[in-house]
Structure 1
Amino acid sequence: MVSPGLSTVPAVVTVAGLVAADGVRAAVDALLDDFLKRKVTTAVAKGLPEEVPCVLKDFLRDGGKRIRPALCVLGWQAGGGGALKGAVVQVAASLEMFHAFALIHDDLMDHSDIRRGKPSVHRRLAARHHEAGRTREEADMLGAAGALLVGDVALAWAGELLHSAGLPARRLVAALARTDRMRTEVMYGQYMDLLATGRPNPCTTKSLKIARYKTAGYTIEHPMLLGAELAGADQSLVGALTAYGRAAGEAFQLRDDLLGVFGRPDVTGKPNLDDLREGKQTLLLSLAYRMADPAQLRVLRRYAGDPLLDEHGAARLREVLRSSGAQTAVEQQVETRSRQAVEALQRVSLPLHVAEQLRNFAQALSHRPA
């Protein structure tokens, strides 16, 4: 057992390294693939539209880091759960299915055409309908409505995976309470994001609240706590993992905001214009509005939230984000939260490999390229 400290963290680590350990990704991917193959077979047998499970299966196969399942397993091991078990893998897989739901709906609401370097689900469905003879307008409408329903199915199947994992009744009740809270927070976060989009302003409190509810909680905190509670973790461990998860979750989202503006699409797998075109109420934009001089403010007001924003306008915005100090300020916030996450682990003793992976993960958040 070890109480980890920041000084022992390797200088260069990757987020991908988190999911490589213990075969988590392979186990989760195999379970999801088998689950969705059975859903395709059932759809064919019942004469239902097989493209629903097929497009979901393709979407899950196309990539993703599997961070949430990996953190769920680490939480389980932190709580003394030991090696992988079938039930834990299935619970972890339910988190990835829920993540698919969230991404599909998020892309639809944000009018994002690309996810993981490939067409988003509503664009895939629109292409199918257009190739089948629908007009472009009809195909786009069917693609959007169909993606809404595919996302709903993913949410329902996330619940099915959790319910059918074979958990003891007491553990299932706790897992349902945790996932209910997680899902509710995501919905509120998404709703707050919708209300704020297109109206960026200097209010950093609102920006951080959106980040916490929409992404931070369901990315790190709740997956870890779900695994830990399945293992019967005590309150001291739950408290330490909560503090770690909140700090690391915010670091993850703030870094994501930076990548959404300054990242390379060929690396991140998504455009770097969407957040600027939408006028997302991120901490990055809020700080820019707060720190900008009059000339910089004119640029922000002219271009941020412009649905027709081109590369020229985006370049001017990025320059303001840099020169105003907003980019540096957010990078410092990411570093601070990453450090706070590691410090939270010092409150408890953890299995050596769990402590090491959580330390490395928190460090990777500051530098991840995608």
Structure 2
Amino acid sequence: MPPQEGCSSPTDEEARAGPRPIMTATAEHAAPRQREDLAEVADAAAFLERVEARLDTFLAARSSLLLEVSPDLQPVTRILREVARGGKRLRATFGYWGWRATGTPVTDATVDVAAALELFHLAALVHDDLMDHSATRRGVPTVHTAFAGQHRRGGLRGDAAEFGNGAALLVGDLCLTWSDELLDGSLLAPARHVAARRIYNLMRTQVVAGQYLDVLEQSRDHTTVDAARTVLQFKSAKYTVEHPLMLGGAAAGAGPDLLRACSAYGLPVGEAFQLRDDVLGVFGDETRTGKPVGDDLREGKKTLLVLVARDRADRAGREVLEAGLGNRDLDAAGVAALQQVLVSTGALDLVEQRIAELTARGADAIRTSDVPAPVASGLAELAERIAGRAS
């Protein structure tokens, strides 16, 4: 079957050519910043445009390979390309800043490394949504939900949910495979490729370990704050900020001191990011988060926010928590009751304080490092933005 209408089948050479840089720095950012800092922000925005284009053309080319196998794979290519579009592109962004921290000019290899990170992230999202039974992501059906819908519309035999789950597993595996293709085809110098691959492999192993620990802790009657923090660090914090930043640096030839600076910044900022995500999972605006308000409560996620509230709640508050957490049929009133416990126990205030402390620690670490001033400034600002992002 030919590619989808309106889509070409680019060669790898064509796929490597990103669009012309687009300068997207806004006037509100321009006023207080130095000219060199503003140039870095504009370059970062243009870089993400290149990553987006690289992903689109790469997936178009790989979709053509799938369609050569059978036209029945058309829904796979369509759904995969749809869910690959959009998102915050945080991992690509941190990969960019890690590369720039070395003072090395951005190349097509930088774009490929960043795109590989985003495909790996997409694999993690597809599998995570499946394990969490999430119906939507970024305001659209999750992959397993989309395939289940396809099963029902097509009048296929068997259970639609099981079909959707199996298809989502395979789509996630495809993203993992293709992320390797992008990284290994990035034309990095051999020594830099080895250094980058070492960090990339560690990141992948630790994410799976963190994901398993999350599944395990959700199955236990009691979870400690320390256990929850371990899950937070390895499932999300390290692979959102620390490892992408270090990967970008290693791919550009960063030495040990710079990689240590990346780690000193990345781990606290990554933890702050995930804590903010936990807050938004309970108090966020669905139209902006792309996920139903209270879904984390319905899933019974044992976040720091919930564990602190459980430790501090009085008898009535604990009864509300026990009745509501993990209840898949929790309605708006039930969500509101749980929110009240999280606020009245001071759990929300404590987490907000923790976010602020972690963000400041990361920003201070990068400002006092030997990272070029414009890059340090950009990273400090980015830490503030992602840790305090609006719901």
Q: TM-score, normalised by structure 1?
A: 0.91
User: 2:247 aligns to what?
Assistant: 226
User: 2:296 aligns to what?
Assistant: 275
How far did residue 165 of structure 1 move?
0.9
User: 1:157 aligns to what?
Assistant: 178
User: 2:229 aligns to what?
Assistant: 208
How far did residue 345 of structure 1 move?
1.1
How far did residue 20 of structure 1 move?
7.3
CA distance in 2, matches of 1:72, 1:143: 32
Alpha-carbon contact 1:73-1:92 (below 8 Å) kept: yes
1:128 is matched with which residue: 141, 150, 171?
150
307-316 vs 328-337, greater mean Cα deviation: 307-316
How far did residue 36 of structure 1 move?
0.8
Alpha-carbon spacing, 1:189–1:20, altered in 2? closer, same or farther (3 Å): farther
User: 1:78 aligns to what?
Assistant: 101
User: 2:367 aligns to what?
Assistant: 346
How far did residue 98 of structure 1 move?
0.3
CA distance in 2, matches of 1:327, 1:202: 18
User: 1:47 aligns to what?
Assistant: 70
Residue 88 (1) aligns with residue 110 (2) = yes
How far did residue 200 of structure 1 move?
6.8
1:328 is matched with which residue: 346, 349, 357?
349
1:283 partner amino acid:
L
CA distance in 1, matches of 2:45, 2:374: 10
Residue 298 (1) aligns with residue 319 (2) = yes
Q: Which has the higher contact order (CA 8 A, sep 6+)?
A: 1
How far did residue 54 of structure 1 move?
2.4
Alpha-carbon spacing, 1:291–1:312, altered in 2? closer, same or farther (3 Å): same
How far did residue 59 of structure 1 move?
0.5
Alpha-carbon contact 1:76-1:229 (below 8 Å) kept: yes
User: 2:6 aligns to what?
Assistant: none
Alpha-carbon contact 1:201-1:286 (below 8 Å) kept: no
1:162 partner amino acid:
L
Alpha-carbon contact 2:367-2:380 (below 8 Å) kept: no
CA distance in 2, matches of 1:267, 1:91: 28
93-102 vs 184-193, greater mean Cα deviation: 184-193
CA distance in 1, matches of 2:125, 2:139: 14
* Deviation string, structure 1 residues 101-132 (Cα, Å, up to 9, x no partner): 00000000000001001111111111122211
2:118 partner amino acid:
E
User: 2:285 aligns to what?
Assistant: 264
User: 1:5 aligns to what?
Assistant: none
1:77 partner amino acid:
R
CA distance in 2, matches of 1:142, 1:208: 34
Alpha-carbon contact 2:223-2:302 (below 8 Å) kept: no
Alpha-carbon contact 2:101-2:249 (below 8 Å) kept: yes
CA distance in 1, matches of 2:67, 2:170: 18
SS at match of 1:233: coil
* Deviation string, structure 1 residues 42-65 (Cα, Å, up to 9, x no partner): 22223261332321111012x201
Residue 60 (1) aligns with residue 84 (2) = yes
User: 2:207 aligns to what?
Assistant: 186
Alpha-carbon contact 1:28-1:89 (below 8 Å) kept: yes
1:225 partner amino acid:
M
User: 2:19 aligns to what?
Assistant: none
Alpha-carbon spacing, 1:368–1:18, altered in 2? closer, same or farther (3 Å): farther
Instruction: Please list, as runs of the form range in 1=range in 2, the aligned pairs for 1:243-262 lying within 5 A after superposition.
Output: 243-262=264-283
1:85 partner amino acid:
T
User: 2:126 aligns to what?
Assistant: 104
User: 2:9 aligns to what?
Assistant: none
How far did residue 18 of structure 1 move?
6.8
Q: Number of matched residues? A: 353
Residue 362 (1) aligns with residue 383 (2) = yes
Residue 29 (1) aligns with residue 55 (2) = no
User: 2:4 aligns to what?
Assistant: none
SS at match of 2:186: coil
Please give the root-mean-square deviation of Cα atoms over the aligned residues, in Å: 1.9
What percentage of residue pairs aligned between the two structures are identical?
42
Alpha-carbon contact 2:367-2:373 (below 8 Å) kept: no
Alpha-carbon contact 2:241-2:269 (below 8 Å) kept: yes
Alpha-carbon contact 1:199-1:279 (below 8 Å) kept: no
2:144 partner amino acid:
H
Q: TM-score, normalised by structure 2?
A: 0.86
* Deviation string, structure 1 residues 256-304 (Cα, Å, up to 9, x no partner): 0000000011111112222111111110011111111222112111211
CA distance in 2, matches of 1:255, 1:19: 26
52-61 vs 276-285, greater mean Cα deviation: 52-61
